[in-house]
């Protein structure tokens, strides 16, 4: 390592934590709940607000335990098929797909693939009524939101229709059950 590298990295992490927006708090609570429920899991993230938080603040216990499509290029729909692939490649490490309700609509039929192939992947949907990140960026630039808010379907019912056990968590404390 470069001289002083670990100290500079620690200082950067501390500066980021000090500047962290309060809106990241629920995301961090979600990550803690997931880790408590599935220690050492592999998190596969779509382009959704909590995953953007994860790219800055989530520290995983081992390499290859966090994969993300939140690169700023709007790669919606990545998490579910990637989590299925991760489970097939390494079935000993639970995979959690963290996806927004808008992004899930891009690859929802992949639930059928998981069921048909008996791939036990956990899907956590961050439901914010559409494409909230894009909506918030539009509002911040004084652009009237257009095409970024949609009514979310009953995702638990759809998952059950594919044969997946599903439940709607109304709070972080319900994620671990």
Task: Tell me the C-alpha distance between 24 and 115, whole Å.
Answer: 33
Task: Give the burial string for 158-173 (b: 16+ CB within 10 Å, else e).
Answer: ebeebebebeebeebe
With a cut of 90, say whether residue 161 has pLDDT above it: yes
Task: Kindly indicate the confidence band of residue 19, based on its pLDDT and cuts at 50, 70 and 90.
Answer: confident
Task: Tell me the C-alpha distance between 129 and 48, whole Å.
Answer: 12
Predicted pLDDT of residue 55 = 86
Residue % of the chain over a pLDDT of 90: 57
Q: What is the mean pLDDT of residues 145-169?
A: 92
Predicted pLDDT of residue 62 = 86
Task: Kindly indicate the confidence band of residue 32, based on its pLDDT and cuts at 50, 70 and 90.
Answer: very high
Q: What is the pTM of this model?
A: 0.87
> What digits encode the pLDDT tens for the residues 41-99?
999 999 888 998 898 888 888 889 999 876 666 678 999 999 999 999 999 999 999 99
Residue 92, CB half-sphere, CA atoms under 13 Å: how many? 0
Task: Tell me the C-alpha distance between 72 and 75, whole Å.
Answer: 8
């Amino acid at each position: 390592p470069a001289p002083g590298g670990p100290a500079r990295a620690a200082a950067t992490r501390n500066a980021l934590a000090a500047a962290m927006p309060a809106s990241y708090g629920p995301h961090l609570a979600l990550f803690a709940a997931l880790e408590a429920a599935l220690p050492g899991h592999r998190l596969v993230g779509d382009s959704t607000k909590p995953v953007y938080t994860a790219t800055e603040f989530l520290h995983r216990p081992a390499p290859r335990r966090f994969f993300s499509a939140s690169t700023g290029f709007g790669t919606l729909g990545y998490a579910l098929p990637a989590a299925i692939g991760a489970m097939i490649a390494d079935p000993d490490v639970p995979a959690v797909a963290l996806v927004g309700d808008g992004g899930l609509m891009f690859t929802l039929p992949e639930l059928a693939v998981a069921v048909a192939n008996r791939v036990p992947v956990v899907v956590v949907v961050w439901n914010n009524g559409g494409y909230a990140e894009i909506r918030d960026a539009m509002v911040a630039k004084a652009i009237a939101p257009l095409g970024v808010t949609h009514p979310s379907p009953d995702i638990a019912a759809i998952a059950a229709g594919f044969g997946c056990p599903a439940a709607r968590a109304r709070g972080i404390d319900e994620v671990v059950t």
